[in-house]
Structure formats: structure tokens, C-alpha cells
Amino acid sequence: MHRMTHDTCTPIDWSAYTALRRDIHRHPELGFEEHRTAGLVAQRLHELGYVVTEGIAGTGLVGTLRLGNSRRSIGLRADMDALPIQEATGLEWASEAPGTMHACGHDGHTAILLAAAELIARERNFDGRVHLIFQPAEEMGGAGGARRMVEDGLFERFPCDAVFAMHNMPGWPTGRFLFRDGAMMASSDRVVITFTGKGGHAAVPHRTVDPTVAAASAILALQTIASRNIDPLESVVISVGMLQAGATYNVIPDEARLELSVRTFSAELRREIEGRIRRICTLQAESFGAHAEVDYQYGYPVLVNTAAETRDALAVARRHFGEDQVQADIPPLMGSEDFAYFLQERPGCYLLIGNGEIGSTDPATGLTHCMVHNPGYDFNDACLAPAARYWAALVAHRLAPQ
């Protein structure tokens, strides 16, 4: 494996990081299974002179570099896991793992932070502690990697005055830095609702208690929460992702099951919506003589960037890349991110970098599939250098010698 040095006279070899990113892409690993990726990361950090602590939340690790006597510190996070999607890009570096691919760019995020690790180690223009956090299982919901790392004592073991993370954003110009103060990404909850009735022959419905009717009525009633119970200026999404009942056409089943996705930008609204979902489903079921059991599963919390850290992060981007490569106050996103758990513990900022329109093109439709979580998606390697340089500049700013 190529050994990196701290020689500040030799230009950084960006092609090596492109090759590294594509190697990770070729060998994707799902959440808490990132053994090969974590091993590769650990070896690179060791070569660069970082103190490496492995086995945090299973496959997570932290690389620490300390200079000077300051007690100030910063944490930079990259996620490492892939998704259970069959890749359809046809690229030379396409996934070799059936049914698994880096469809969200975590291969790129990992390579970016490793490139930043080299820049930070070369430049050595800070006073304090830099903690590079390589996180597993971002895609796994509320029980994923960020929460597990926090529960494993991440910030007690590696104190951070502030934490930062970056995600690629398809559809925005390549290399443009995107920021938002305050609530930036929504909470994400899963709700499983089981309607229980009394099954029987489809020809004699009056002798049954049909749970499918209760479920159908509840589906319609649930849509009134956003339209009639919540301030129209608030952003709320309640989507029915699954409706499951019965096994054949001429039997009324005993049970019907719904699964919902619920998203909002307010912790207060989150609790209010939970209460309304419980009441609507319970009372709708009772009105048909059925019973409803609601399993409300809290997932990612709202991701909230803190004001001072966002201003700092924005100022660094403007200073080093120019106003035309920076977009402040972007609209909030209904997607979710488990970096929100880190931001519940420490101040910080989650930012985006434009990934352009890169992706595979469907020959039948002519459409380019550049969105994340899509079989045709690929990370744009042109983002590696600006993103890594940004992290190094942020460290130099936050931990500037005093």
C-alpha cells in the first residue's frame, strides 16, 4: 500500500485518493460490517502519525493528532457504510458485493477525511487536538452508528469543543459549499400500526370485523394531521409506506398492518404528531369494532446547526473558495441524518458540498440518475480536493495558534 509522508514540499497526490475512493466503492460494507473499510482507514491514519483508537461502536474509529499546549479541540466526522442496493452504474469501479453499493457517497466522505488528515498532518498549523471520527452505520436509523458512538463515550474519550460533518449533494454545482443555520434536516420516525379484527369468509362480511376497512379509514384520517391540525407554515410529512393485509381474495383477514414515515423539524411537533397518530388510529379502529396497536419508533432527531459554529464554517468557505462557491441559508431538507445525535451533545455544523449531475444515464429514458439512494448514483471525485482543503482550513481557523 502506498505510504504517505509528512513532506510538505511534495504536492499531495490527489489521484491516490481517487483510487482509494474507488477501491472503497468497489468493496462496500453495510452498517456495523465496515471491517475492511475501517482497517484501511486505520492503516492510513497510522502512516500519517495519528493516534488511532478502533472498535468504537463496533467498527468505528477515531484518529487524533495533537500539537502545542492548547486544550482546544475539534471533531470532524465521516460516515463509512453502504446501502443494500444493487448497483446499476456499469462503472469500472462498480460494487463487487451483490446487493450492496455506496449509493450515498460515504465512500467519498471517507476518502475526503483521509485526504484532509494528510493535509492537516503536513501543514501542522494548529494548536490543540484534532479528532477525525470515522462512523459506522449512518444509514441504520435511530439505533445506528452515531448514537452508538455517543453511548460508547465518544465525547468523554475524545473531547470536542465543536463537531462538523459534510455530505455530498447531487444537483448543486460541483464543489459549491452549502450551509444553513438552525434546523437543517428533519427528524425521522417509523410507526407500525397493527389493526386487529375478526376474519372470515368474504361472502359474509357482517359476521366479521374487517381490519382492512379500519386501516383504510385511518390512512385517510392520518392525512388530515398535516392539513388540518398543524400550522400550514410548518413542514410535516406523514407517508404510508406499507399497507399489508390478507393472503387471498375471498378471505377477510384477522389483521392489517400499516407502516408510516413521519418527518418534521420541531421536537414539540414530533410529540404532538405522535399523540394524534395514536388517537386517530385507536378511535378509527374502535369505530369499526376493531383494535389498533401503535408502535411509535423514534428515529433520527432533528438536525440543528448551532449559530456560532455555522457562521464560522461559512466564513472559512467564503475566505478560501470565494463567494461564488458558497451558498448560505439553503432551504431545510426533509431527509434525515444521524449526525443529529452528535449535535445534541456538542455544538457544530453539518454542511453540504455540491456533487454536480454525475451519475449513470438510462439508455431507455435518457435520464441521468444522480440522486443518492439510487442504483445509478456515483460520488463525484472532483469534490475530493476542495472538500479536503476545506476541512484543513477549518481546523487551521478553529485551532489557530494564539
Q: Which of 33, 138, 312, 378 is catalytic?
A: 138
Q: Which of 81, 118, 309, 378 is catalytic?
A: 81
Q: How far apart are CA 248 and CA 199, in angstroms?
A: 12
Question: Per residue in 82-114, is it b (16+ CB within 10 Å) or e — as a string?
Answer: bbebebbbeeebbbebeebbbbbbbbbbbbbbb
81 is catalytic: yes
Q: For 64-122, write each residue's pLDDT tens digit.
A: 999 999 999 999 999 999 999 999 999 999 999 999 999 999 999 999 999 999 999 99
What's the helix, strand, coil split of the chain in %, to 5? 35, 25, 40
pLDDT at residue 2 in the model: 36
pLDDT at residue 45 in the model: 98
156 is catalytic: no
pLDDT at residue 200 in the model: 97
Specify the DSSP element, H or E, that contains 314: helix 307-321
Q: How far apart are CA 319 and CA 266, in angstroms?
A: 33
Q: Are 150 and 341 in contact (CB under 8 A)?
A: yes
Q: Are 376 and 362 in contact (CB under 8 A)?
A: yes
In this predicted structure, which of 110-119, 130-139, 324-333, 354-363 has the lowest mean pLDDT?
354-363
pLDDT at residue 3 in the model: 38
Sign of CA dihedral 395, 396, 397, 402: positive
> Which domains, and CATH codes, for the chain?
14-185+302-398 (3.40.630.10), 187-297 (3.30.70.360)
Q: For 288-340, write each residue's pLDDT tens digit.
A: 999 999 999 999 999 999 999 999 999 999 999 999 999 999 999 999 999 99
Q: What is the mean pLDDT of residues 50-56?
A: 98
pLDDT at residue 142 in the model: 79
- Per the prediction, the chain carries an average pLDDT of 94
Q: What is the mean pLDDT of residues 212-238?
A: 96
Quickly state the pLDDT bin for 371 (edges 50, 70, 90). confident
